[in-house]
Structure 1
Amino acid sequence: MTEEPLRATVSQRAVLFDGEEMLVVRRASDGGWELPGGRLDVGESTVDGLRREVREETGLDVVIRRPIYTISWRNDRGEGRYGVYYLCVAETTAVTLSHEHTAYDWLAPSAAADRLSDTQATAVERAQRLREGGLE
């Protein structure tokens, strides 16, 4: 048992596939690449929150298959974070970016993982293994 429980903001991300390719978006704030998604609002269901975030950031509607990876950490300011990654499928591929992002790419999972943080790359690898195993 830990001496101090983690108090954290919940962040959700979509490992979003269209066929064999998946979506990554480039942050306007620092130019880094990430999976679409964001923070869960108070009183919002996890599925509704992820759908809302993906729609706000990309204009896409998604089918959420299942959670595939979770992780907790403290950011550089010592604030708690809890991340949940979901395997998702795009209903369309016509992306309309919000002001939060400047670019997007539909890439093979290995190419997408190369652009992402280690944590997000791990989620991509897990999603790909599930898809290859027919477990999506």
Structure 2
Amino acid sequence: MIRDNRFYIAVKAVIFHKEKFLVIKRSNMARGDHYYWEFPGGRLEFGESVLDTLNRELREEVSISADIIRPLSIWNFMKNKNTEIVGITYLCKTDVDKVKLSFEHEKYAWITKEDLSKYNIHPSVLSDISTWDWENIVGEV
């Protein structure tokens, strides 16, 4: 029996402006069962490089260009029993704080690490975030 297993590669951006970073929330139209705040990003398209994907997703979702500093973490999760998503989260910075959201998102916020508890962020993302060296990250941006 051939199983219909598949995986996708995704990229996310932790974009800093000054000492705050950007989180976004999906709109009711695009949400489905996705009601968490998240970092901007999305899936690679066939033939697209990781950095091209990240830049495209930032333009599409938040209309921001950012300097990509370095990868912060590599992660994976099972979307369902036959679909795995493998992702890379990048540390980025920008000089602009004006965000223009796509139709897929309804809210955004520039927050600090201390603000995380005020936002409904997926537990697996919070677990990943808890391993980051925040002092070093803030020093880099």
User: In the alignment, is residue 21 of structure 1 matched against residue 20 of structure 2?
Assistant: yes
Equivalent pair of 2:6/2:82 in contact (CA under 8 Å): no
Q: Relative to 1, partners in 2 of residues 1:74 and 1:88: Cα closer, same or farther, differing over 3 Å?
A: same
Q: How far did residue 77 of structure 1 move?
A: 4.3
Q: Whole-Å Cα distance in 1 between the matches of residues 22 and 52 of structure 2?
A: 19
User: In the alignment, is residue 130 of structure 1 matched against residue 128 of structure 2?
Assistant: no
2:57 is aligned to 53
Q: How far did residue 130 of structure 1 move?
A: 2.9
User: In the alignment, is residue 63 of structure 1 matched against residue 71 of structure 2?
Assistant: no
2:89 is aligned to 85
Q: Whole-Å Cα distance in 2 between the matches of residues 124 and 112 of structure 1?
A: 10
Where 2:96 maps in the other structure, the secondary structure is coil
2:45 is aligned to 41
Task: Letter of the 2:77 partner, please give it.
Answer: W
Which ranges in structure 2 are unaligned for 5 or more consecutive residues? none
Task: Letter of the 1:19 partner, please give it.
Answer: K
Task: Report the more deviating stretch, 72-81 or 90-99.
Answer: 72-81
Q: How far did residue 8 of structure 1 move?
A: 1.5
Aligned residue-pair number: 130
Where 1:92 maps in the other structure, the secondary structure is coil
1:3 is aligned to none
Q: Whole-Å Cα distance in 2 between the matches of residues 43 and 37 of structure 1?
A: 17
User: TM-score normalised to the size of structure 2?
Assistant: 0.81
Q: How far did residue 93 of structure 1 move?
A: 1.1
Q: Which of 102, 118, 125 is the matching residue for 2:106? A: 102
Q: Relative to 1, partners in 2 of residues 1:96 and 1:73: Cα closer, same or farther, differing over 3 Å?
A: same
Q: Relative to 1, partners in 2 of residues 1:58 and 1:135: Cα closer, same or farther, differing over 3 Å?
A: closer
User: TM-score normalised to the size of structure 1?
Assistant: 0.84
Which ranges in structure 1 are unaligned for 5 or more consecutive residues? 1-5
Task: Letter of the 1:118 partner, please give it.
Answer: P
Task: Letter of the 1:121 partner, please give it.
Answer: L
Q: CA RMSD in A?
A: 2.1
